[in-house]
């Protein structure tokens, strides 16, 4: 009893195995050969021992002796081939699956990603994808091999002694159908919990590590780690009951095996008494079921593996099926030629799952060489505007055009060749300053790199560092100051040299003095470059061509800094507030 959608998820994952289907077929044959050889080895040795007990001339035994050797060798070789082929195939499937999940993440990022916690996403990408190998290695392959070998063993017994074949059939059905069903009933609930709890635990650990300084600072670290410990205990409980069910099924299957051997012995002895079976063949009849049960190996646990695979497949397919926040045109138009004018006409945009629009009827024109600033309180839609311009989010109404071409007919990557972002929390990689900047353009010459550093006013600082450009910035740039981080991000954006540069609150987390120097420097650096500057500081905005004031996703005022200061209105109010805050006791800094 499993809800409908899940079966589909497993089938979707299984479809990834189609290109390597041949590998699995060969692996199943090799596996059957290995187990068949095992069976042959036992049957031949049984015959050999029984026949040898009658002291026949050695010549009568030679064929069986050769058979025992051949089966022994074949078993090892075939087992090796089976492992090689099946794991080669399964890892091939995992690779394809992981690439598919990654590509999906790339498409839905960044607008679609907040649906997941980052640790949970990592668990989906790593653990849940890994869990899918069990579908091939522990469910499909052993079932195929078990079916082949089981049929072979029953066939052999049916030829020697039909009642013994019947006993074996009943025993095998008990071990491979009844036992998994029983174990599945006890272990299924636990199995279902494993993958989601692992995801939650992983998310909690990542969050704990990330926020450790804050947690220690406010004395909440113990409470938080207690929560992680509780999740860990829950995972252990789920794994333990699942292991219990697995142990139960292995035990029951072994019991079924023992009973089957006893049953075969009883019917075999009766047949020998009745003269229907030779004494030598009796050993074969008794030992064949033993070998057949060995062949069933992991089959009794198939219910657990299936449940676990199903749950993880569900979580993987959930990522694969997440709707696109942005529709890519099936056949994108070519990019128009430079210079570029970017226009917004009555733009409306909403985030997935949020009813209220984040932008509502915004008009904007960014002509070549012009600089426009967007200001407004937090949550007014400034970053949403940036996301739409970068094609991370589709408009729900109105249009965005690049030289009169609607951007929805262009490929997102092409648009991002023209429009580039220097984000408010630009990511710095845990590597050198040079590597972090060269990310924008690997082919840049040292002179171009120096020029970008100079414009971002970093050159002197970098030259004074003992390691210069080879200085490591630490994880998320933790070894350098906030101002330097933003300046590195700015040099990266400048080195990329985009036709249209977007700057989203480049000075956000900096103190007022540093923020104003940085803003002044970047305004100097972007003179004559098509730029959209998102900011909440008004102090420097005399330098830009137009300032647009957003509130609640709507444009509430627009004009030049100078003009808007002369009239009462939202801009003037924001300005007065900023001046008042700057003059306040906490700051000796002048506003302009
Ligand atoms: N990824 C997101 N998913 C859902 N809602 C979002 C997302 N980003 C922003 N929002 C919402 O959109 C509105 C505008 O946010 P945003 O554009 O980030 O404002 P600003 O940059 O002006 O502070 C807010 O109500 C915010 O909660
Ligand atoms: Mg923002």
The tens digit of pLDDT for each residue in 368-384 reads 999 999 999 989 999 99
> How many domains is the chain partitioned into structurally?
2
| Per-residue pLDDT reduced to its tens digit, 386-429 | 999 999 888 999 999 999 899 999 998 899 989 998 887 788 89
464 found inside a domain: no
Whether residue 470 has pLDDT greater than 80: yes
| Per-residue pLDDT reduced to its tens digit, 79-92 | 999 999 999 999 99
| Per-residue pLDDT reduced to its tens digit, 160-200 | 899 999 999 999 988 888 888 887 777 777 888 888 898 89
If asked whether residues 382 and 518 sit together in one domain, one would say: yes
Note the pLDDT of residue 155. Answer: 93
Radius of gyration of the chain (CA): 35
pTM of the prediction? 0.73
Residues with CB under 5 A from ligand 2 (ion): 383
If asked whether residues 303 and 374 sit together in one domain, one would say: no
Note the pLDDT of residue 195. Answer: 82
The mean pLDDT of 93-117, rounded to a whole number, is 84
Whether residue 501 has pLDDT greater than 90: yes
If asked whether residues 289 and 389 sit together in one domain, one would say: no
Q: Which two structure tokens, joined as six digits, stand for 152?
A: 């072979």
If asked whether residues 146 and 59 sit together in one domain, one would say: yes
Measured at the CA of 147, the angle between CA 145 and CA 153, to 5 degrees, comes to 100
Note the pLDDT of residue 218. Answer: 87
If asked whether residues 523 and 561 sit together in one domain, one would say: yes
Phi, psi of 321 (to 5 degrees): -95, 0
CA-504 nearest atom, ligand 1: 21
489 found inside a domain: no
If asked whether residues 513 and 558 sit together in one domain, one would say: yes
Q: Which two structure tokens, joined as six digits, stand for 50?
A: 């029984």
297 closest CA partner among 456, 499, 143: 143
CA-111 nearest atom, ligand 1: 1
If asked whether residues 298 and 356 sit together in one domain, one would say: no
Phi, psi of 124 (to 5 degrees): -65, -45
- CATH, residue 119: 1.20.1560.10
540 found inside a domain: yes
- CATH, residue 385: 3.40.50.300
If asked whether residues 375 and 413 sit together in one domain, one would say: yes
Q: Let me know: does 29 contact 77? Beta carbons within 8 Å.
A: no
Would you call the peptide bond into 500 cis, given omega within 30 degrees of 0 as the criterion? no
Answer whether 378 contacts ligand 1 (Cβ < 6 A).
Answer: yes
Answer whether 381 contacts ligand 1 (Cβ < 6 A).
Answer: yes
Element at 513 (helix H, strand E): helix 512-525
443 found inside a domain: no
Find the 394 Cα to ligand 1 centroid distance in Å.
14
Answer whether 351 contacts ligand 1 (Cβ < 6 A).
Answer: yes
Q: Let me know: does 374 contact 382? Beta carbons within 8 Å.
A: yes
Q: Let me know: does 367 contact 310? Beta carbons within 8 Å.
A: no
**Signed CA dihedral, 318, 323, 325, 327: sign only:** positive
Q: Which two structure tokens, joined as six digits, stand for 85?
A: 């082929």
Ligand 1: which of 323, 351, 355, 390 to mutate, most ligand atoms within 8 Å of CB? 351
CA distances from 381 to 358, 374, 430 (A): 5, 10, 31
219 found inside a domain: no
Element at 374 (helix H, strand E): strand 371-375
Among 289, 320, 351, the domain-final residue is 320
332 found inside a domain: no
If asked whether residues 271 and 404 sit together in one domain, one would say: no
If asked whether residues 85 and 169 sit together in one domain, one would say: yes
Burial of 309 (0-12, 13-18, 19+ CB in 10 A): buried
327 found inside a domain: no
CA distance 205 to 198: 10
Q: Is 143 helix (H, G, I), strand (E, B) or coil?
A: helix
Find the 82 Cα to ligand 2 centroid distance in Å.
56
CA distance 343 to 512: 32
Ligand 1: which of 384, 388, 393, 423 to mutate, most ligand atoms within 8 Å of CB? 384
Note the pLDDT of residue 109. Answer: 76
Find the 19 Cα to ligand 2 centroid distance in Å.
45
Q: How does the average pLDDT of the chain come out, rounded?
A: 87
If asked whether residues 62 and 132 sit together in one domain, one would say: yes
Whether residue 484 has pLDDT greater than 50: yes
CA distance 558 to 376: 11
- Name the packing angle between helices 58-108 and 21-52 (round to 10°): 160
If asked whether residues 178 and 136 sit together in one domain, one would say: yes
**Residues of the domain holding 551:** 342-361+369-424+500-583
566 found inside a domain: yes
Answer whether 108 contacts ligand 1 (Cβ < 6 A).
Answer: no
DSSP-derived letter for residue 113 is G
- Cβ atoms < 10 Å from Cβ of 553: 23
518 closest CA partner among 483, 494, 552, 548: 483
């Amino acid at each position: 009893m499993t809800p409908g959608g899940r079966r589909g998820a497993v089938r979707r994952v299984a479809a990834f195995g189609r290109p390597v289907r041949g590998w699995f077929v060969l692996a199943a044959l090799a596996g059957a050969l290995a187990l068949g050889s095992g069976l042959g080895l036992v049957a031949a040795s049984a015959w050999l021992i029984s026949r040898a007990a009658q002291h026949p001339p050695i010549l009568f035994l030679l064929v069986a002796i050769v058979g025992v050797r051949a089966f022994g060798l074949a078993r090892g070789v075939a087992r090796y081939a089976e492992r090689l082929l099946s794991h080669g195939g399964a890892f091939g499937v995992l690779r394809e699956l992981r690439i598919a999940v990654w590509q999906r993440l790339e498409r839905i990022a960044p607008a679609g990603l907040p649906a997941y916690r980052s640790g949970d996403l990592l668990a989906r990408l790593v653990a849940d994808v890994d869990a899918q190998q069990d579908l091939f290695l522990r469910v499909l392959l052993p079932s195929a091999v078990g079916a082949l070998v089981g049929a072979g063993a029953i066939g052999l017994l049916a030829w020697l002694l039909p009642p013994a074949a019947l006993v074996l059939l009943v025993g095998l059905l008990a071990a491979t159908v009844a036992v998994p069903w029983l174990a599945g009933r006890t272990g299924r609930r636990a199995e279902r919990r494993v993958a989601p709890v692992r995801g939650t635990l992983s998310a909690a650990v990542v969050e704990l590590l990330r926020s450790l300084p804050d947690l220690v600072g406010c004395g909440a670290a113990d409470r938080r780690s207690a929560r992680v410990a509780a999740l860990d205990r829950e995972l252990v409980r789920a794994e333990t009951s699942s292991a219990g069910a697995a142990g139960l099924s292995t035990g029951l299957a072994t019991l079924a095996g023992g009973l089957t051997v006893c049953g075969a012995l009883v019917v075999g002895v009766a047949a020998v008494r009745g003269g229907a079976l030779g004494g030598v063949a009796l050993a074969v009849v008794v030992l064949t079921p033993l070998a057949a049960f060995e062949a069933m190996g992991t089959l009794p646990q198939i219910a657990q593996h299936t449940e676990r695979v199903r749950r993880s497949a569900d979580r993987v397919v959930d990522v694969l099926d997440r709707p696109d926040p942005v529709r890519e045109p099936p056949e994108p138009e070519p990019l128009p030629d430079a210079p570029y004018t970017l226009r917004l006409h009555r733009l409306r945009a909403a985030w997935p799952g949020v009813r209220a629009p984040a932008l509502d009827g915004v008009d904007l024109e960014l002509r070549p060489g012009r600089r426009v600033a967007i200001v407004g309180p937090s949550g007014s839609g400034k970053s949403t505007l940036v996301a739409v311009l970068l094609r991370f989010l589709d408009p729900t109404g109105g249009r965005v055009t690049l030289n009169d071409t609607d951007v929805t007919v262009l490929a997102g990557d092409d648009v991002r060749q023209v429009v580039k972002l220097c984000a408010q929390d630009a990511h710095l990689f845990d590597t050198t300053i040079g590597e972090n900047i060269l990310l924008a353009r690997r082919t840049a010459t040292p002179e171009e790199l120096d020029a970008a550093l100079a414009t971002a006013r970093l050159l002197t600082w970098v030259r004074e560092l003992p390691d210069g450009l080879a200085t490591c910035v630490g994880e998320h740039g933790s070894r350098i100051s906030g101002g330097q981080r933003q300046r590195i991000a700015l040099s990266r954006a400048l080195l990329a040299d985009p036709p249209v540069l977007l700057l989203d609150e480049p000075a956000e987390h900096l103190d007022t003095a540093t923020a104003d120097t940085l803003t002044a420097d970047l305004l100097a650096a972007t003179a004559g470059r098509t730029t959209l500057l998102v900011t909440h500081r008004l102090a420097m905005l005399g330098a830009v061509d137009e300032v647009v004031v957003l509130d609640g996703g709507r444009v509430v005022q627009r004009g030049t800094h100078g003009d808007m200061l002369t009239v009462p209105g939202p801009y003037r109010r924001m300005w007065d507030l900023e001046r008042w805050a700057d003059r306040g006791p906490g700051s000796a800094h002048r506003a302009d």
